[in-house]
Amino acid sequence: MNAGSVIAIGEALIDRLGPLGGDPSCDLPVTDCFGGAPANVACALGRLGVNVSFISCLGNDSFGKNFKNLLIQREINISGLQQDMLRPTRVVLVRRDSYGERSFEGFEGDKGMGFADQAISREKIIRDWPLVTENAQWLVAGTIPLASEISSKAFLWCIENALHAGIKIALDLNWRPTFWRNKVSTFLEPSTKEKNQIFSILKNVSLIKLAKEEAQWFFNTTDPTQISSSFAHRPSVVVTDGSNPISWRLNNHIGKSFAITPSSVVDTTGAGDAFTAGLIYKLISVDLDQISKQFAEEIIQFGIACGSHVCKGLGAIEAQPFLDDIDNLLS
């Protein structure tokens, strides 16, 4: 087990997967899977043997209780996990095409006050902070908490205090317009206001991971060096593109790495989050500013193997790999 630890913050929710080629809001069968990018990363790191703390908020419902039990099973520190008595755990409707590729269709379960993950309390985080930050080297975050007023305050407090404690921040840009607009939107591109909210935290992060279309929307380029150069502190940048090659800049090394195609793709949900977990797993044992080109390539390759493994099963968390799975895949 790595001595260092990781904090993940953000949404924990339920992905309701529709049948291949069907509509998850009305077609059967549907499959409910635990999800939410930061929860996926925390669970993947837990399975790889990393000490992880997870900060989030779940509803006081069966989904919330079962999710909490899963986190305990994965030996994740849940000192920062909150429970909302008024708001339910969010259910996301995930449409899958006949190839297993997914799109987000909207939400279910809102009783008029929104969802638990939109109400992460800053006051509770301040109280629990010493319990979640012990030996922490990295804080892994997405951008979805910024989309709601209550969670945004909690999230920004965490970013500020992590930096103050010398904890590095890895940000998965994870642009999901449905979460920001609370309805299915055909206009996918972020507005200037939405962009500015996200850019406000990017200036503090050591590592930015984003998909090709997110790179295009937010930076008008998919070149990691150009994206890195748009910030004074020159963060490391990784640009993923589904099953196509990954472009990256880690420390000052640049490269392109090819995906590992799984023998069969059941579902791509959570592949990117497993990839992120793989990167962080490797980065715990080394100083990002000291890595060689060869080790940078190893880090990306390890992440790719983690992402590939997840595509072989249903949902983001159940199919996550153990360390032995990745060693076998890479050998």
User: In this predicted model, what pLDDT tens digit does every residue of 186-239 receive, in sequence order?
Assistant: 789 999 999 999 999 999 999 999 999 999 999 999 999 999 999 999 999 999
Domain count, the chain: 1
**Residue 261: predicted pLDDT:** 80
**Residue 267: predicted pLDDT:** 74
C-beta atoms surrounding 287 within 10 Å:
10
> Is residue 107 within 8 Å of 91, Cβ to Cβ?
yes
Whole-Å CA distances, 2 to 43, 77, 162, 282? 15, 15, 20, 10
**Residue 42: predicted pLDDT:** 98
DSSP letter string, 225-291: HHHHHTSTT--EEEEEETTEEEEEEETTEEEEE-----SS-S--TTHHHHHHHHHHHHHTTS-GGG-
Q: What is the mean pLDDT of the chain?
A: 93
**What is the domain extent for residue 311?**
5-330
**Residue 25: predicted pLDDT:** 84
**Residue-wise pLDDT tens digits, 163-193:** 999 999 999 999 999 999 977 777 899 999 9
**Residue 313: predicted pLDDT:** 86
CA distance 279 to 277: 5
**Residue 2: predicted pLDDT:** 47
Establish whether the linkage from the previous residue to 29 is cis, with ω within 30° of 0: yes
Asked if the model's pLDDT at residue 34 lies above 80, the reply is yes
**Residue 20: predicted pLDDT:** 83
Asked if the model's pLDDT at residue 140 lies above 60, the reply is yes
Per DSSP, 179 falls in state H
Please give the model's pTM, rounded to 2 decimal places: 0.95
Q: How confident is the model at residue 266 (pLDDT cuts 50, 70, 90)?
A: confident
Asked if the model's pLDDT at residue 70 lies above 80, the reply is yes
**Residue 1: predicted pLDDT:** 40
Mean pLDDT of 272-296: 96
> Is residue 218 within 8 Å of 198, Cβ to Cβ?
yes
DSSP letter string, 51-101: EEEEEEEEESSHHHHHHHHHHHHTT-B-TTEEEESSSPPPEEEEEE-TTS-
Reference 53, options 161, 127, 139, 152; nearest CA is: 139
Asked if the model's pLDDT at residue 46 lies above 80, the reply is yes
Taking each continuous run of H as one helix and of E as one strand, the counts in the chain are 11, 13
Asked if the model's pLDDT at residue 279 lies above 60, the reply is yes
What is the rounded end-to-end Cα distance, in angstroms, of the chain? 21
CATH number at residue 13: 3.40.1190.20
Quick one: what percent of the chain has pLDDT higher than 90? Answer: 81
User: What 3-state class would DSSP assign to 302?
Assistant: helix
How would you write 122-165 as a 3-class SS string? HHHHHHHHHHHCCCEEEEEECCHHHHCHHHHHHHHHHHHHHHHC
CA distance 280 to 138: 8
**Residue 3: predicted pLDDT:** 58
**Residue 284: predicted pLDDT:** 95
CA distance 148 to 207: 23
Mean pLDDT of 91-117: 87
